[in-house]
Amino acid sequence: MFARSGRRLVGVLLSLATATLLAGPAASAASPEPQSTVNGGDAMYTVSPGPGREPYYCSAGFAIVVKSVRYILTAGHCTEHGLDWKDIGPNEDSHFPVTDYGRIRDVSGSGNARVDLYNGNTQRILRAGTPRVGQVVCKSGMSTKKTCGKVLGLNQTVNYGGGKQVVGTIATDIPIESGDSGGPLFSGATGYGVLSGGNSRVSFYQPLPAVLAAYGARLA
C-alpha cells in the first residue's frame, strides 16, 4: 500500500503511469528554537492543531536559499497546516495538491545542503537534476534511513483520493514508510526531488529543479 509519509499511511493501487493513493492529512505546531544544521532525511516534529494535539512527523528535504533567507524544503502535505516545527522554525508555505512541496524557515541559519546517510556521514548536494529511467538513485528519511533503488518512470501522476492529485512525479522502486515524507531523492552530489508518497514497493517524488525555479531558490 501507498502512503504520503507524515505518520499516516494508507493504501493505493498503482499502474506505472498512474498511481491511486489514499492518504491522511498533514500536520503542524511546536515552538521553534535555533538548532544545529538540519540535513536532508532528518526527522522533523510538529503537533497537529486539531483535537488531541496529535504528534506529526516528516523528513527534511534540502536546505535552500531564497533572497538570502534560508529554508528547509520538504513535502507540501507536511507544511499545509501552517504552524511550527520544533527546533527548526515556522512553515512558510505549502503547495499541495497538484504539486507537493513546501518551505520551513530555518532559524538556525547555517549549513549547506547535505543529506544524512545514516552511517555517521553526510553527502553535500551541489546541484539539482533529472534522473534517467533505470538509473540507480537513493533516498533518505527518518523511518527507513538511506535506501536505494531504480527510477521506474518520470512525469507520473499520483491520485491520493478526495480529489487530491500530484502530477509530474518521479517514480522509483525504493520502499518508504510513514514519516519519510519530504525526504530527499539524490545520487552523489545531485538532488532530484522530495518524497511525496509511496509504500513498500514504490515511491513518488516531487522533482527538485521545478521547485527551485518556482521559488527562485538555490541550494544552500
Quote the pLDDT of residue 24.
30
Quote the DSSP letter at residue 81.
T
Place of cell 522530495: 194
Q: Which domain CATH number covers 137? A: 2.40.10.10
How does pLDDT run across 66-106, given as a tens digit for each residue?
999 999 999 999 998 778 999 899 999 999 999 999 999 99
Secondary structure of residue 200 in the 3-state scheme: coil
As a whole number, mean pLDDT of residues 14-28 equals 32
Beta carbons within 10 angstroms of residue 103's beta carbon: 26
Q: What are phi and psi of 209, to 5 degrees?
A: -55, -40
Quote the pLDDT of residue 55.
82
The yes-or-no verdict on residue 117 having pLDDT over 80 is yes
C-alpha cell at 130: 533529472
The yes-or-no verdict on residue 201 having pLDDT over 80 is yes
As a whole number, mean pLDDT of residues 193-216 equals 97
Distance set, CA 184 to CA 98, 105, 201 (Å): 19, 17, 18
Cross-strand partners of 128: 191
Of 117 and 12, the structure prediction assigns the larger pLDDT to 117
Measuring CA to CA, which residue among 153, 122, 117, 138 is closest to residue 17? 153
Quote the pLDDT of residue 109.
74
70 is in which domain, residue-wise? 1-220
- Hey, which residues are catalytic here? 77, 100, 181
| Domain count within the chain | 1
Quote the pLDDT of residue 5.
45
C-alpha cell at 69: 533567507
| DSSP-H helix ranges across 57-203 | 76-79
Q: What are phi and psi of 215, to 5 degrees?
A: -85, -15
